[in-house]
């Protein structure tokens, strides 16, 4: 499982022009991708890392500050583009495998007491954010 984690001052995700998820104060955006072989253990570890990673101002975590998190599924994090000009998506888990695991990350964040907004799995989404810092990390578990 991979996630691109960004510290933001605000963020939103829209589908067909309608906002489906938003955070309107400083927090995190987590673009989450799932690969074959990922399971509940990886989802739980990813939720813990997102919640506890000390990347907010003054070396605080989302859990420390009660900061909101916007989680967006992102199968393209497993795109392979080393050869040729067309990426391969074969390392990305199919929707029936990936969607419950992205949902498990969201549930793990909520179980830790965090406010979580989400995109819509499988939809063509427009993500808007103001990166704070900028701070952007790639997490792999």
Of 74, 78, 73, 27, nearest in space to 50 by CA: 27
Q: Reply yes or no on whether 74 is catalytic.
A: yes
Say which of 35, 76, 111, 121 is annotated catalytic.
Answer: 76
Contact assessment for residue 40 and residue 71, using Cβ atoms and an 8 Å cutoff:
no
Q: Reply yes or no on whether 121 is catalytic.
A: no
Q: Reply yes or no on whether 9 is catalytic.
A: no
Burial of 85 (0-12, 13-18, 19+ CB in 10 A): exposed
Which residues are CB-contacts of 103 (< 8 A; sequence separation ≥ 6)? 121
Say which of 35, 42, 75, 118 is annotated catalytic.
Answer: 75
Say which of 6, 35, 74, 118 is annotated catalytic.
Answer: 74
- Residues 121, 99: Cα–Cα separation, whole Å: 7
- Residues 63, 79: Cα–Cα separation, whole Å: 31
Active-site positions? 74-76
């Amino acid at each position: 499982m991979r996630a691109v984690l960004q510290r933001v001052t605000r963020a939103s995700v829209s589908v067909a022009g309608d906002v489906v998820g938003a955070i309107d104060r400083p927090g995190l955006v987590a673009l989450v991708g799932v690969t074959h072989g990922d399971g509940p253990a990886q989802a739980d570890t990813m939720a813990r890392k997102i919640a506890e990673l000390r990347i907010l101002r003054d070396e605080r975590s989302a859990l420390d500050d009660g900061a909101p998190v916007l989680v967006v599924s992102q199968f393209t994090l497993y795109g392979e583009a080393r050869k040729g000009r067309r990426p391969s998506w074969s390392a990305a888990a199919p929707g029936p495998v990936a969607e419950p695991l992205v949902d498990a990350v969201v549930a793990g964040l909520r179980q830790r007491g965090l406010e979580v907004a989400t995109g819509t799995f499988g939809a063509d989404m427009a993500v808007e954010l103001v990166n704070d810092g900028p701070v952007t990390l790639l997490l792999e578990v």
